[in-house]
Amino acid sequence: MRSSVVSMLALGAAVTSAFPTASRASSQVKRATSCTFTSATKASESQKSCSTIVLDNIEVPAGESLDLSDLEDGTKVIFDGETTFGYEEWDGPLIRIEGSNIIVTGTSNHTINGGGARWWDGEGTNGGKTKPKFFYAHSLDDSTITGLNIKNTPVQAFSVQSDNIVLNRITIDNSDGDSAGGHNTDAFDVSESNGVTIRNAVVKNQDDCLAINSGSNIVFTGGTCSGGHGLSIGSVGGRDDNTVKNVTISHSTVADSANGIRIKTISDATGSVSGVTFSDITLSGISDYGIVFEQDYENGSPTGTPTTGVPITDLTVSSITGSVDSDAEQVYILCGDGSCSDWTWSGVSITGGSSSSECENVPSGASC
Ligand SMILES: *[C@@H]1O[C@H](CO)[C@@H](O)[C@H](O)[C@H]1NC(C)=O
Ligand SMILES: *[C@@H]1O[C@H](CO)[C@@H](O)[C@H](O)[C@H]1NC(C)=O
Protein backbone atom coordinates (compact mmCIF):
# COMPACT_ATOMS: atom_id res chain seq x y z
CA MET A 1 0.00 0.00 0.00
CA ARG A 2 2.63 2.44 1.16
CA SER A 3 5.00 1.59 -1.68
CA SER A 4 2.29 2.02 -4.29
CA VAL A 5 1.52 5.49 -2.95
CA VAL A 6 5.20 6.34 -3.07
CA SER A 7 5.61 5.09 -6.62
CA MET A 8 2.53 6.97 -7.73
CA LEU A 9 3.96 10.05 -6.09
CA ALA A 10 7.15 9.70 -8.06
CA LEU A 11 5.24 9.08 -11.24
CA GLY A 12 3.07 12.13 -10.77
CA ALA A 13 5.66 14.51 -9.44
CA ALA A 14 5.95 16.57 -12.60
CA VAL A 15 2.23 16.91 -13.07
CA THR A 16 1.55 17.91 -9.49
CA SER A 17 4.50 20.20 -8.83
CA ALA A 18 2.13 23.16 -8.71
CA PHE A 19 0.63 21.82 -5.49
CA PRO A 20 2.39 22.86 -2.33
CA THR A 21 2.25 19.80 -0.09
CA ALA A 22 3.03 16.16 -0.53
CA SER A 23 -0.33 15.04 0.77
CA ARG A 24 -2.14 17.25 -1.70
CA ALA A 25 0.11 15.93 -4.45
CA SER A 26 -0.52 12.32 -3.54
CA SER A 27 -4.28 12.75 -3.57
CA GLN A 28 -4.07 14.48 -6.94
CA VAL A 29 -1.99 11.68 -8.42
CA LYS A 30 -3.99 8.88 -6.94
CA ARG A 31 -7.15 10.37 -8.43
CA ALA A 32 -5.99 11.12 -11.94
CA THR A 33 -8.14 8.22 -12.98
CA SER A 34 -11.36 7.78 -14.86
CA CYS A 35 -13.29 4.82 -13.51
CA THR A 36 -16.25 3.14 -15.18
CA PHE A 37 -18.52 1.17 -12.90
CA THR A 38 -21.30 -1.25 -13.72
CA SER A 39 -22.04 -1.87 -10.03
CA ALA A 40 -23.36 0.70 -7.57
CA THR A 41 -21.62 -1.02 -4.68
CA LYS A 42 -18.23 -0.91 -6.41
CA ALA A 43 -18.74 2.72 -7.39
CA SER A 44 -19.45 3.57 -3.78
CA GLU A 45 -16.49 1.59 -2.42
CA SER A 46 -14.01 3.11 -4.86
CA GLN A 47 -15.39 6.63 -5.06
CA LYS A 48 -12.40 8.30 -3.41
CA SER A 49 -9.88 6.92 -5.88
CA CYS A 50 -11.44 8.20 -9.10
CA SER A 51 -11.40 11.72 -10.46
CA THR A 52 -14.13 10.77 -12.93
CA ILE A 53 -16.80 8.21 -12.17
CA VAL A 54 -18.82 6.86 -15.09
CA LEU A 55 -21.94 5.01 -13.98
CA ASP A 56 -22.55 2.60 -16.83
CA ASN A 57 -26.02 1.02 -16.86
CA ILE A 58 -26.03 0.70 -13.09
CA GLU A 59 -28.70 -1.40 -11.45
CA VAL A 60 -28.84 -0.23 -7.85
CA PRO A 61 -29.76 -3.06 -5.46
CA ALA A 62 -33.15 -2.89 -3.71
CA GLY A 63 -33.10 -0.99 -0.46
CA GLU A 64 -29.71 0.60 -1.16
CA SER A 65 -28.63 4.04 -2.27
CA LEU A 66 -26.34 4.76 -5.14
CA ASP A 67 -24.10 6.31 -2.51
CA LEU A 68 -21.49 8.81 -3.67
CA SER A 69 -21.48 10.79 -0.44
CA ASP A 70 -17.75 10.65 0.20
CA LEU A 71 -16.34 12.13 -3.02
CA GLU A 72 -13.06 13.99 -3.16
CA ASP A 73 -13.27 17.65 -4.19
CA GLY A 74 -13.63 18.13 -7.91
CA THR A 75 -14.87 14.68 -8.84
CA LYS A 76 -16.89 14.31 -12.05
CA VAL A 77 -19.84 11.90 -12.00
CA ILE A 78 -21.31 10.85 -15.34
CA PHE A 79 -24.47 8.80 -15.78
CA ASP A 80 -24.50 6.62 -18.89
CA GLY A 81 -27.07 4.17 -20.23
CA GLU A 82 -30.05 3.38 -18.04
CA THR A 83 -29.74 3.62 -14.28
CA THR A 84 -32.36 1.48 -12.51
CA PHE A 85 -33.26 0.56 -8.95
CA GLY A 86 -34.42 -2.61 -7.25
CA TYR A 87 -37.78 -2.59 -5.51
CA GLU A 88 -38.19 -2.33 -1.78
CA GLU A 89 -40.42 -0.31 0.52
CA TRP A 90 -38.03 2.07 2.24
CA ASP A 91 -37.37 5.78 2.67
CA GLY A 92 -34.42 6.04 0.29
CA PRO A 93 -32.79 8.06 -1.08
CA LEU A 94 -32.14 6.11 -4.25
CA ILE A 95 -29.22 8.45 -5.04
CA ARG A 96 -27.04 10.47 -2.67
CA ILE A 97 -24.16 12.64 -3.92
CA GLU A 98 -22.08 14.80 -1.59
CA GLY A 99 -18.89 16.80 -1.94
CA SER A 100 -17.43 20.10 -3.07
CA ASN A 101 -16.82 21.27 -6.62
CA ILE A 102 -18.52 18.15 -7.91
CA ILE A 103 -19.69 18.03 -11.53
CA VAL A 104 -22.61 15.69 -12.19
CA THR A 105 -23.75 15.10 -15.78
CA GLY A 106 -25.20 12.45 -18.05
CA THR A 107 -24.25 11.30 -21.53
CA SER A 108 -26.62 12.02 -24.39
CA ASN A 109 -27.88 8.44 -24.10
CA HIS A 110 -28.66 8.19 -20.42
CA THR A 111 -31.84 7.86 -18.38
CA ILE A 112 -32.20 7.56 -14.65
CA ASN A 113 -35.35 5.52 -14.32
CA GLY A 114 -36.87 5.42 -10.85
CA GLY A 115 -39.41 2.81 -11.92
CA GLY A 116 -41.89 4.67 -9.72
CA ALA A 117 -44.95 2.72 -10.87
CA ARG A 118 -43.91 -0.14 -8.58
CA TRP A 119 -44.57 2.13 -5.57
CA TRP A 120 -47.33 4.40 -6.86
CA ASP A 121 -50.60 3.87 -5.05
CA GLY A 122 -52.12 7.33 -5.18
CA GLU A 123 -51.05 8.07 -1.59
CA GLY A 124 -47.56 9.48 -2.00
CA THR A 125 -46.04 10.15 1.42
CA ASN A 126 -49.45 10.19 3.11
CA GLY A 127 -49.81 6.43 3.41
CA GLY A 128 -49.78 3.15 1.55
CA LYS A 129 -46.39 1.84 0.56
CA THR A 130 -43.25 3.39 2.01
CA LYS A 131 -41.65 5.07 -0.97
CA PRO A 132 -38.01 5.99 -1.37
CA LYS A 133 -37.01 9.60 -1.91
CA PHE A 134 -35.11 9.94 -5.15
CA PHE A 135 -32.03 12.22 -5.09
CA TYR A 136 -30.43 13.88 -2.06
CA ALA A 137 -28.25 16.78 -3.15
CA HIS A 138 -27.22 17.49 0.44
CA SER A 139 -23.85 19.13 1.22
CA LEU A 140 -23.18 19.15 -2.49
CA ASP A 141 -21.53 22.55 -2.34
CA ASP A 142 -20.03 24.71 -5.10
CA SER A 143 -21.23 22.01 -7.46
CA THR A 144 -23.27 21.55 -10.62
CA ILE A 145 -25.78 18.97 -11.79
CA THR A 146 -26.39 19.31 -15.51
CA GLY A 147 -28.53 17.65 -18.13
CA LEU A 148 -29.95 14.70 -16.23
CA ASN A 149 -32.88 12.81 -17.74
CA ILE A 150 -35.04 11.44 -14.95
CA LYS A 151 -38.14 9.33 -15.24
CA ASN A 152 -40.78 8.14 -12.79
CA THR A 153 -39.61 8.90 -9.30
CA PRO A 154 -41.46 6.98 -6.55
CA VAL A 155 -42.19 10.22 -4.63
CA GLN A 156 -40.22 13.50 -4.30
CA ALA A 157 -37.39 13.87 -6.82
CA PHE A 158 -34.67 16.30 -5.64
CA SER A 159 -34.06 17.30 -2.07
CA VAL A 160 -31.59 20.20 -2.25
CA GLN A 161 -29.72 21.22 0.91
CA SER A 162 -26.49 22.72 -0.40
CA ASP A 163 -24.60 25.97 -0.79
CA ASN A 164 -23.76 27.38 -4.21
CA ILE A 165 -25.24 24.66 -6.33
CA VAL A 166 -26.48 24.93 -9.92
CA LEU A 167 -28.99 22.47 -11.36
CA ASN A 168 -29.23 23.08 -15.09
CA ARG A 169 -31.33 21.38 -17.78
CA ILE A 170 -32.77 18.69 -15.58
CA THR A 171 -35.74 16.84 -17.01
CA ILE A 172 -38.06 15.01 -14.66
CA ASP A 173 -40.78 13.16 -16.53
CA ASN A 174 -43.25 11.59 -14.14
CA SER A 175 -46.15 11.92 -16.55
CA ASP A 176 -46.81 8.18 -16.39
CA GLY A 177 -47.91 8.86 -12.82
CA ASP A 178 -50.86 11.01 -13.98
CA SER A 179 -52.89 7.90 -14.66
CA ALA A 180 -50.95 5.39 -12.54
CA GLY A 181 -51.14 6.87 -9.04
CA GLY A 182 -48.09 9.16 -8.86
CA HIS A 183 -48.50 11.49 -5.86
CA ASN A 184 -46.25 13.93 -3.93
CA THR A 185 -43.75 13.75 -6.75
CA ASP A 186 -42.29 17.23 -6.03
CA ALA A 187 -39.53 18.02 -8.49
CA PHE A 188 -37.25 20.32 -6.44
CA ASP A 189 -37.59 20.68 -2.68
CA VAL A 190 -35.12 23.28 -1.45
CA SER A 191 -34.30 23.96 2.20
CA GLU A 192 -31.41 25.12 4.39
CA SER A 193 -29.46 26.23 1.33
CA ASN A 194 -27.60 29.40 0.44
CA GLY A 195 -27.13 29.97 -3.29
CA VAL A 196 -29.21 27.64 -5.42
CA THR A 197 -29.78 28.17 -9.14
CA ILE A 198 -32.19 25.92 -11.01
CA ARG A 199 -32.25 26.73 -14.72
CA ASN A 200 -34.13 25.29 -17.66
CA ALA A 201 -35.82 22.48 -15.78
CA VAL A 202 -38.54 20.52 -17.57
CA VAL A 203 -40.92 18.93 -15.11
CA LYS A 204 -44.00 16.76 -15.58
CA ASN A 205 -45.25 15.62 -12.19
CA GLN A 206 -48.06 15.49 -9.63
CA ASP A 207 -46.93 17.97 -6.94
CA ASP A 208 -44.84 21.12 -6.62
CA CYS A 209 -42.50 21.91 -9.49
CA LEU A 210 -40.50 23.89 -6.96
CA ALA A 211 -41.03 24.11 -3.20
CA ILE A 212 -38.74 26.28 -1.08
CA ASN A 213 -39.12 25.70 2.65
CA SER A 214 -36.10 27.74 3.71
CA GLY A 215 -32.91 29.21 2.29
CA SER A 216 -31.47 32.32 0.71
CA ASN A 217 -30.22 33.60 -2.65
CA ILE A 218 -32.22 31.16 -4.74
CA VAL A 219 -33.01 31.47 -8.45
CA PHE A 220 -35.41 29.36 -10.50
CA THR A 221 -35.56 30.42 -14.14
CA GLY A 222 -36.41 29.05 -17.57
CA GLY A 223 -38.57 26.30 -16.09
CA THR A 224 -41.32 24.39 -17.86
CA CYS A 225 -43.69 22.89 -15.32
CA SER A 226 -46.78 20.80 -16.00
CA GLY A 227 -49.18 18.43 -14.34
CA GLY A 228 -48.38 19.40 -10.77
CA HIS A 229 -49.02 22.08 -8.16
CA GLY A 230 -46.96 24.95 -9.56
CA LEU A 231 -44.09 27.11 -8.29
CA SER A 232 -44.19 27.35 -4.56
CA ILE A 233 -42.54 28.90 -1.56
CA GLY A 234 -43.49 26.89 1.48
CA SER A 235 -44.91 25.80 3.44
CA VAL A 236 -42.73 27.98 5.68
CA GLY A 237 -42.80 27.51 9.44
CA GLY A 238 -42.50 24.76 12.01
CA ARG A 239 -39.13 23.41 10.82
CA ASP A 240 -35.55 23.94 12.04
CA ASP A 241 -35.05 26.76 9.54
CA ASN A 242 -37.99 29.00 8.72
CA THR A 243 -36.39 31.84 6.83
CA VAL A 244 -36.79 32.33 3.09
CA LYS A 245 -34.82 35.28 1.79
CA ASN A 246 -33.96 36.64 -1.66
CA VAL A 247 -35.62 34.31 -4.14
CA THR A 248 -36.26 35.00 -7.83
CA ILE A 249 -38.59 32.77 -9.80
CA SER A 250 -38.82 33.95 -13.39
CA HIS A 251 -39.19 33.25 -17.11
CA SER A 252 -41.11 30.04 -16.65
CA THR A 253 -44.35 28.41 -17.70
CA VAL A 254 -46.80 26.50 -15.55
CA ALA A 255 -49.38 24.41 -17.40
CA ASP A 256 -52.13 21.98 -16.37
CA SER A 257 -51.41 22.45 -12.70
CA ALA A 258 -53.36 23.14 -9.51
CA ASN A 259 -51.69 26.52 -8.96
CA GLY A 260 -49.48 28.91 -10.88
CA ILE A 261 -47.41 30.66 -8.20
CA ARG A 262 -47.84 30.24 -4.47
CA ILE A 263 -46.57 31.19 -1.03
CA LYS A 264 -47.95 29.31 1.94
CA THR A 265 -46.97 29.83 5.55
CA ILE A 266 -47.87 27.77 8.58
CA SER A 267 -50.54 28.86 10.97
CA ASP A 268 -49.26 29.98 14.39
CA ALA A 269 -45.63 29.32 13.39
CA THR A 270 -42.81 31.86 13.21
CA GLY A 271 -40.35 32.65 10.44
CA SER A 272 -40.14 35.05 7.51
CA VAL A 273 -40.42 35.27 3.76
CA SER A 274 -38.68 38.32 2.33
CA GLY A 275 -37.27 39.55 -0.95
CA VAL A 276 -39.19 37.16 -3.20
CA THR A 277 -39.76 38.03 -6.86
CA PHE A 278 -42.07 36.18 -9.23
CA SER A 279 -41.74 37.57 -12.75
CA ASP A 280 -42.47 36.67 -16.36
CA ILE A 281 -44.47 33.55 -15.68
CA THR A 282 -47.06 32.25 -18.11
CA LEU A 283 -49.95 30.16 -16.84
CA SER A 284 -52.37 27.82 -18.60
CA GLY A 285 -54.81 25.15 -17.51
CA ILE A 286 -54.66 26.15 -13.83
CA SER A 287 -57.39 24.38 -11.86
CA ASP A 288 -57.32 26.12 -8.42
CA TYR A 289 -55.49 29.45 -8.20
CA GLY A 290 -53.37 31.42 -10.65
CA ILE A 291 -51.69 33.29 -7.79
CA VAL A 292 -52.14 32.21 -4.17
CA PHE A 293 -50.45 33.69 -1.10
CA GLU A 294 -51.81 32.42 2.19
CA GLN A 295 -50.77 32.48 5.84
CA ASP A 296 -53.02 29.77 7.19
CA TYR A 297 -51.51 26.31 6.65
CA GLU A 298 -51.82 23.58 9.26
CA ASN A 299 -51.04 19.88 8.80
CA GLY A 300 -50.80 20.39 5.07
CA SER A 301 -54.18 22.08 4.61
CA PRO A 302 -55.41 25.65 4.78
CA THR A 303 -57.46 26.60 7.83
CA GLY A 304 -58.97 29.71 6.30
CA THR A 305 -57.78 31.78 9.28
CA PRO A 306 -54.49 33.60 8.67
CA THR A 307 -51.89 34.22 11.40
CA THR A 308 -49.06 36.77 11.49
CA GLY A 309 -45.96 34.87 12.66
CA VAL A 310 -44.40 34.34 9.22
CA PRO A 311 -44.57 37.76 7.56
CA ILE A 312 -44.28 38.04 3.78
CA THR A 313 -42.42 41.26 3.01
CA ASP A 314 -40.69 42.86 0.04
CA LEU A 315 -42.58 40.72 -2.48
CA THR A 316 -42.51 41.54 -6.19
CA VAL A 317 -45.07 40.08 -8.58
CA SER A 318 -44.53 41.15 -12.15
CA SER A 319 -45.77 40.00 -15.56
CA ILE A 320 -47.81 37.01 -14.53
CA THR A 321 -49.97 36.26 -17.53
CA GLY A 322 -52.10 33.56 -19.11
CA SER A 323 -55.25 31.79 -18.08
CA VAL A 324 -56.90 29.69 -15.42
CA ASP A 325 -59.75 27.17 -15.78
CA SER A 326 -63.34 28.40 -15.61
CA ASP A 327 -63.86 27.12 -12.06
CA ALA A 328 -60.51 28.41 -10.77
CA GLU A 329 -59.71 31.73 -9.11
CA GLN A 330 -57.25 34.15 -10.63
CA VAL A 331 -55.79 35.48 -7.40
CA TYR A 332 -56.29 34.58 -3.74
CA ILE A 333 -54.50 36.49 -0.97
CA LEU A 334 -55.09 35.61 2.67
CA CYS A 335 -52.82 37.62 4.95
CA GLY A 336 -52.88 38.19 8.69
CA ASP A 337 -53.34 41.69 10.04
CA GLY A 338 -50.16 43.58 9.07
CA SER A 339 -48.12 40.49 8.17
CA CYS A 340 -47.90 41.21 4.43
CA SER A 341 -46.13 44.45 3.48
CA ASP A 342 -43.98 46.16 0.86
CA TRP A 343 -45.51 44.35 -2.07
CA THR A 344 -45.00 45.50 -5.65
CA TRP A 345 -47.48 44.25 -8.19
CA SER A 346 -47.40 44.90 -11.92
CA GLY A 347 -48.38 43.31 -15.19
CA VAL A 348 -50.66 40.70 -13.63
CA SER A 349 -53.04 39.76 -16.40
CA ILE A 350 -54.83 36.46 -15.95
CA THR A 351 -57.93 35.47 -17.88
CA GLY A 352 -60.60 32.88 -17.14
CA GLY A 353 -62.03 31.79 -13.82
CA SER A 354 -63.26 34.33 -11.30
CA SER A 355 -61.90 36.74 -8.73
CA SER A 356 -61.81 35.56 -5.15
CA SER A 357 -64.31 37.08 -2.73
CA GLU A 358 -62.38 35.80 0.27
CA CYS A 359 -59.15 37.78 0.22
CA GLU A 360 -58.11 39.32 3.56
CA ASN A 361 -55.63 42.02 4.54
CA VAL A 362 -54.46 42.54 0.98
CA PRO A 363 -51.47 44.91 1.22
CA SER A 364 -51.50 48.12 -0.75
CA GLY A 365 -50.14 47.63 -4.23
CA ALA A 366 -51.53 44.13 -4.67
CA SER A 367 -54.98 43.40 -5.98
CA CYS A 368 -57.21 40.47 -5.44
C1 LIG B 1 -28.29 3.81 -25.26
O2 LIG B 1 -28.62 3.23 -24.00
C3 LIG B 1 -29.40 2.06 -24.11
C4 LIG B 1 -29.82 1.67 -22.71
O5 LIG B 1 -28.73 1.44 -21.92
C6 LIG B 1 -28.59 0.99 -24.83
O7 LIG B 1 -29.36 -0.18 -24.95
C8 LIG B 1 -28.19 1.50 -26.20
O9 LIG B 1 -27.33 0.59 -26.82
C10 LIG B 1 -27.45 2.85 -26.09
N11 LIG B 1 -27.26 3.42 -27.42
C12 LIG B 1 -26.10 3.96 -27.80
C13 LIG B 1 -26.06 4.55 -29.14
O14 LIG B 1 -25.12 3.98 -27.04
C1 LIG C 1 -29.93 37.58 -4.26
O2 LIG C 1 -29.55 36.33 -4.81
C3 LIG C 1 -28.89 36.44 -6.05
C4 LIG C 1 -28.69 35.04 -6.58
O5 LIG C 1 -27.91 34.29 -5.70
C6 LIG C 1 -27.60 37.21 -5.88
O7 LIG C 1 -26.95 37.35 -7.13
C8 LIG C 1 -27.88 38.59 -5.30
O9 LIG C 1 -26.69 39.25 -5.02
C10 LIG C 1 -28.69 38.44 -4.00
N11 LIG C 1 -29.11 39.75 -3.55
C12 LIG C 1 -28.89 40.16 -2.33
C13 LIG C 1 -29.41 41.51 -2.00
O14 LIG C 1 -28.31 39.48 -1.49
> Pick from 233, 321, 330, 334: which is nearest to 275 by CA?
233
Q: Assess whether pLDDT exceeds 80 at residue 23.
A: no
Query: How far from 244 is each of 18, 190, 250, CA to CA, in Å?
Result: 42, 10, 17
35-47 as b/e: b if 16+ CB within 10 A = bebeebeebbeeb
pLDDT of the residue at 11: 31
Q: What is the pLDDT of residue 4?
A: 37
- What pLDDT does residue 24 have? 44
Position 25 pLDDT exceeds 50: no
277-289: per-residue pLDDT in tens? 999 999 999 999 9
Check residue 5 and give its pLDDT: 34
The share of the chain scoring above pLDDT 70, in percent, equals 91
Interval between CA 69 and ligand 1 midpoint (Å): 27
Banded pLDDT at 6 (limits 50, 70, 90) = very low
Q: What is the distance in A from the centroid of ligand 1 to the CA of 218?
A: 36
Query: Exposure of 65 by Cβ count < 10 A (0-12 exposed, 13-18 middle, 19+ buried)?
Result: buried
CATH architecture type of domain 36-187: 3 Solenoid (2.160)
pLDDT band with cut points at 50, 70 and 90 for residue 299: confident
> Is the predicted pLDDT of residue 22 greater than 70, yes or no?
no
Report the mean per-residue pLDDT for the chain. 93
Q: Is 251 a catalytic residue?
A: no
Query: What average pLDDT does the segment 40-62 reach?
Result: 97
Cite the residue boundaries of each domain of the chain with CATH code 2.160.20.10.
36-187, 207-368
Q: Which CATH superfamily is domain 207-368 in?
A: Single-stranded right-handed beta-helix, Pectin lyase-like (2.160.20.10)
Q: What is the pLDDT of residue 317?
A: 98
The predicted pLDDT at position 290 comes to: 98
Q: Could you report the per-residue pLDDT of 152-195, keeping only the tens digit for each?
A: 999 999 999 999 999 999 999 999 999 999 999 999 999 999 99
- Spatial CB neighbours of 74, under 8 Å, sequence gap ≥ 6: 51, 100, 101, 102, 103
- CA of 194 from ligand 2 middle (Å) equals 10
Residues 213-253: pLDDT tens digits?
A: 999 999 999 999 999 999 999 999 999 999 999 999 999 99
Say if strands 243-266 and 215-221 run parallel, antiparallel, or are unpaired.
parallel
Q: Point out the ligand 1 atom lying closest to the alpha carbon of residue 57.
A: 5
Q: Cis ω on the peptide bond leading into residue 257 (within 30° of 0)?
A: no
Q: Band the pLDDT of 30: cuts 50, 70, 90.
A: low
146 lines ligand 2 (CB under 6 A): no
For residue 300, what pLDDT is reported? 85
Q: Are 40 and 59 in contact (CB under 8 A)?
A: yes
What is the whole-number distance in angstroms between the Cα of residue 83 and the centre of ligand 2? 36
Q: Find the mean pLDDT for residues 46-75.
A: 97
How would residue 19 be classed by pLDDT, with cut points 50, 70 and 90? very low
Residue closest by Cα to atom 3 of ligand 1: 81
Percent of the chain exceeding pLDDT 90 equals: 90
Q: What is the mean pLDDT of residues 80-91?
A: 98
Q: Parallel, antiparallel, or unpaired: how do β-strands 224-226 and 272-298 relate?
A: unpaired
Q: Is 195 in the pocket of ligand 2 (CB under 6 A)?
A: yes
Q: Of ligand 1's atoms, which has the minimum distance to the CA of residue 109?
A: 1
Ligand 1 pocket, CB under 6 A: 57, 81-82, 109
Task: Summarize the confidence of residues 317-323 as an average pLDDT.
Answer: 98
Residue 305 has pLDDT above 80, yes or no: yes
Pick the catalytic residue: 110, 138, 183, 229?
A: 229
Report the predicted TM-score, pTM, of the whole model to 2 decimal places: 0.91
> Whose alpha carbon is nearest atom 9 of ligand 1?
81
| Cα 198 to ligand 2 centre (Å) | 14
- How far apart are alpha carbons 145 and 101 in whole angstroms? 11
Checking if the pLDDT of 88 tops 60, the result is yes
Determine the atom of ligand 2 nearest the C-alpha atom of 219.
Answer: 4
Beta bridge partner(s), residue 165: 143, 196
Is the predicted pLDDT of residue 16 greater than 50, yes or no?
A: no
Q: Is the CB of 321 under 6 A from ligand 2?
A: no
